Amino acid sequence: MTRILIPSGALGLDYDREALARGVAMKPDLIAIDGGSTDSGPSYLGRGVSKYARASTKVEWKGLIAAAREAGCPLVIGTAGTCGTDSTVDWLLDITRECLAELHLDARIATLKCQQPAERVLAAMTSGDLLPLAAAPEIDEDLVASCTNIVALAGAEQIAAALDTGADIVIAGRTTDTAIISALPLQRGDHAGGAWHGAKIGECGALCATNPQSGVLLVDFDTQGFTVTPLAEGARATPRTVLAHMLYENSDPFILYEPGGHLDVTGANYSALDDTRVRVEGSAWVPSATYAVKLEGARIAGYQTILLTTVRDRHYVENIRAWTDDILRKHTVKVADRTGLTAGVDYTCELRLIGVDSTLGALETRGTVPDEVGVLCVITAADQATANEIGKLMNPYLLHHPLTRDEEQPTFAFPFSPAEIDRGPAWEFCLNHVMRLDDPMQAFRLEVVDA
């Protein structure tokens, strides 16, 4: 049996310290935690930085280093620093050294770096080893070269290689969420389908339990399947909460693709062992004929300036769409007249109606009239100066534009001054491809340091 302790869904979200202490007392074979994901958009990958505060990361990581030492087991983190670039691996390595010094501990640390040079990706394009996934964008040499960072998602094989170094702490760059959990059970001969399925269920900690914010989860793997046990006071796993997690961040609730194959849970059986624990058997791992890793890349798509005004006058709120449509028409003409720039070609300008449909857009079905509306203007252009100039041309409209020519001139509210706020680069994801490898470690770099 292999026992994995998962403190929370991501380092930086905090964890229940009492529940963690209970897990440590149960002598896990490994403590695994994710360091982030693409959930908050492409900016973090593009810039190679963490979205979580360094102070919060350090406090939580220091607690996990101490917990792993008390349990006598390795500590593994995947997708270090939100995006898993080389820079965020180094960032967490520096934090680790600080924590060890403050705890008066020594440790062997393995770093797994997953960043990909553009030349490697271009070579894979040429050799036919770069394959598009569904809805992948068209890419060429210029697009690949424009990526500020490209990472490959490591799987269980790369994490296993890091564990084989005898490391006390493994700091991995971008990994699949499941790799850091499944690697050790697979190494030890536990059921392959159970290893991948249990890793998927446990990837976000207690999100698969009735108290999803409680964080701490224990997963026991064996030769038949796995058992899930949430450790926070009052948290319970049920067959429903466990099986439902296959829907999380997954297009198919029965199939999960990983490097080297896919998980099929069509035949899985979920049973409650008691009021807290759930047992799962019947999952299947299906190896693939080739080994491929998913790539993620980000690049600058333009530069943005935003403006925000709030509208509370009932007449304008009830006719807010007509008002903003008229503003966009007039603004487009003025920008062309004053700058020679063409909307949709040289720049884009959006007016998003907060409180009306800014989240769902055309998919919004509620027809209620709000008390007030926030009008968020988002301008994207090739450079910051141009975006700001177009924003200044929008400013008078959002402050004083009347709904009709015969009305008195209104005044609306800018919450900030200046009203034009330069957001800087706007990033976009631009790869949705997998890269075939002859060897799982071919695109990854493993280093060991003693600290």
Residue type, 335: V
Exposed (0-12), middle (13-18) or buried (19+): which is 39, by Cβ within 10 Å? exposed
The pTM score is 0.94
Tell me the DSSP string of 325-373: HHHHHHHHHHHHHHH---BTTTEEEEEEEETTTTTTGGG----PPPS-E
271-321 per-position pLDDT tens digit: 999 999 999 999 999 999 999 999 999 999 999 999 999 999 999 999 999
Question: Whole-angstrom Cα distance, residue 159 to residue 175?
Answer: 9
Per 3-state DSSP, the chain is made up of helix, strand and coil in percentages (nearest 5) of: 35, 30, 40
CATH number for the domain whose boundaries are 300-429: 3.30.70.600
Evaluate whether 290 touches 185 at the Cβ level (below 8 Å).
no
* Residues 157 and 184 sit within 8 Å (Cβ to Cβ): no
CA–CA separation, 449 and 112 (whole Å) = 12
Choose among 420, 411, 402: nearest CA to 349: 420
User: Is residue 272 within 8 Å of residue 238, measured between CB atoms?
Assistant: yes
Beta bridge partners of 149: 298
Q: How do the domains of the chain map onto residue ranges?
A: 2-114+153-288, 300-429
With H, G, I as helix, E, B as strand and everything else as coil, classify residue 106.
Answer: coil
Residue 142 has pLDDT above 90, yes or no: yes
pLDDT band of 326, cuts 50, 70, 90: very high
Average pLDDT over residues 81-91: 97
Question: If you average pLDDT over every residue of the chain, what do you get?
Answer: 95
Residue 60 half-sphere exposure, CB side, CA atoms within 13 Å? 24
Higher pLDDT, 118 or 205: 118
Residues 350, 377 contacting (CB under 8 angstroms): yes
**Whole-angstrom Cα distance, residue 47 to residue 211?**
34
> What does the pLDDT read at residue 367?
82
Alpha-carbon span 146 to 138, nearest angstrom = 14
Q: Which of 276, 278, 163, 162 is nearest to 227 (CA)?
A: 278
State pLDDT tens for residues 404-413.
988 899 999 9
Token pair for 128: 């036919």
Percent of the chain surpassing pLDDT 90: 90
Q: What pLDDT does 140 receive?
A: 95
